[in-house]
Amino acid sequence: MRVLAIDDQKLVLIPLALRLEALGYSVFTETSAKKGIEVYNSFKPDLVIVDIMMPGVSGMEVVKHIRNLKKESTPIMVLSGNTDAETIVKGFDLGINDYMKKPLSLLEVCARVKRLIGTPVKSNQQIINKGIIIQKRCVGVVIPCYNEEKRLASKAFINFITKNSGYRLCFVNDGSTDKTAEILINLRKGREDYITVYTSKKNAGKAEAVRKGMLHMANQLDLDYIGFLDADLSTGLNDFDHLVSVIENSKYKVVSGSRITRMGANIKKESSRRFISLSINFLIRKILSLDFKDTQCGAKIFHKDVIKVSFGDKFITKWIFDVEIFRRITLHFGLNKAKKLFYEQPLKRWIHASGSKLSAKDSIKIIGQLFKVAWYYRSRKIKKVESISFAKRKESYFLMPSLKNIKA
């Protein structure tokens, strides 16, 4: 039994195809509706699974091709994040057999496939990872790494992408001198569809590592949101997934984790850091004119359409690039509009990890960097920031000799 699955998001197709193939179906996937139509004509599937919302040619055109042009009764199952009643009714009027709204369980998808076309003779009944959910959004996560040999939570990352479809991780090895590169290669092996590893020969600092990773992920067409997270997972992956849920179900462009202490939350900081953080945060609020409780949390998620504004140019500071991001967005959109684009989401858990590379002495230096940011990002500077085209920035980024893609 043959199944043709068409969805512009590859991260949706991969777990779907693997599960159906494990059940005994022969599966062909395509990320373009136009190419999907061509494959249909030659593949002659017993079932077509198609997404409605795709760039260029929509999934509805695939339905029209099969029903109106080919005059064929091949079962069609729509798997879409579009919950508009008019679209759903139109689909059934055209002759679809089933309509499923993302997110939903992969088990449910398979049960509906069996109902429509039956079960293959050679079916594998022992299916692992039964809890996978097909999401309606795909997310890129950048994890900067510098000498993380002893702190990188490899097992936690593996477990997360195994259970959570729709995530692609990008580890940026920022000139590490220990065994971080080796660990990342092993982490990526066999998971190339979900994990990318980049390395820079020289250590450029966290700000530049994050920037490189964010620009790279912005070129992945199937990603809806892109964020960054610390390699030590001081903010856990489940908390990060909650940030994604917030931005997905709102009109915010940036959702930032906040380490504020509150009832029911497990937030642990060193006492000296707590005092310094309060002093720094006071200055940040004055510079940004934003009532943010915690701009420096290393967990943030961005709508894809603000990546250019936020990361297009190099940052001028080493540690407080987060402040620069907020400043760039407020200058680009204006303060009043920008206030509606930001959201600070309190974390349920944040644990200060031992081995932090930021010392108390470095924290004092941050105050000087804050004054540097305040001076540099004066309103008259915004024209200079916006004058460089993103195409040129992207071109220069990919031509950098220090950046190489490690292929395991």
pLDDT in tens, 20-40: 998 999 999 999 999 999 999
CATH class belonging to 138-405: alpha beta
Terminal-residue alpha carbon distance, the chain: 34
Residues of the chain with pLDDT > 90: what percent?
Answer: 48
- To the question of pTM greater than 0.75 for the whole model, the response is yes
Rounded distance, CA 5 to CA 162, Å? 21
Q: How far apart are CA 231 and CA 157, in angstroms?
A: 10
Name the strand (E) or helix (H) holding 236.
Answer: none
The 3-state DSSP class for residue 59 equals: helix
Four-way CATH pick for 2-117: 1.10.3720.10, 3.40.630.10, 3.30.60.50, 3.40.50.2300: 3.40.50.2300
**β-pair type (133-134, 104-105):** antiparallel
In the chain, where the domains are located: 2-117, 138-405
Res 125: pLDDT: 52
- Per-residue confidence (pLDDT) for residue 122, from 0 to 100: 65
Count of alpha carbons within 13 Å of 91, Cβ hemisphere only?
Answer: 28
Q: Is the pLDDT of residue 229 over 60?
A: yes
**pLDDT tens for residues 5-23?**
999 988 889 889 988 998 9
Q: Let me know if 183 is exposed, middle or buried by CB neighbors in 10 A (0-12, 13-18, 19+).
A: buried
